Structure 1
Amino acid sequence: MREPTPGPDELDAMFEAVERRIAAPVGWVEGLRQRSTWVRSAALLGVALAMVALILLGLRRVDLGLHPLPRLLGTIAALATAVLAAGAVALRPLHRRPLRGWLLGLIAGLAVLAPAIVCSLPPAHHDHPASLIGVDADLVPRAAGCFAFGMGFVALAVAAAYLLERSALRRRGSAVLALLGAGALANLVLVLHCPIVAPIHQWAGHATITLVLLLVAAGARARGA
Structure 2
Amino acid sequence: MCGIAGVFGYRENEGREAVLRLLERMRHRGEPDLQNEVAAGPGWAIGTNRLAITTESSSAQPIVSSEKKELLVFNGEIYTGIPGGGCDYAYGELKQYGGDGPILLDALSTYGSEVLDKLEAMFGFVLVMVDKNKVLLGRDRLGVKPLYYACASQRVIVASEIKALAPENDVLEIFSVPPGNTIEVSLPEGSAPRATE
TM-score tier after normalising by the smaller chain length = under 0.3
TM normalised by structure 1 equals 0.24
Q: Which has the higher helix share?
A: 1
TM normalised by structure 2 equals 0.26
Q: Which has the higher strand share?
A: 2
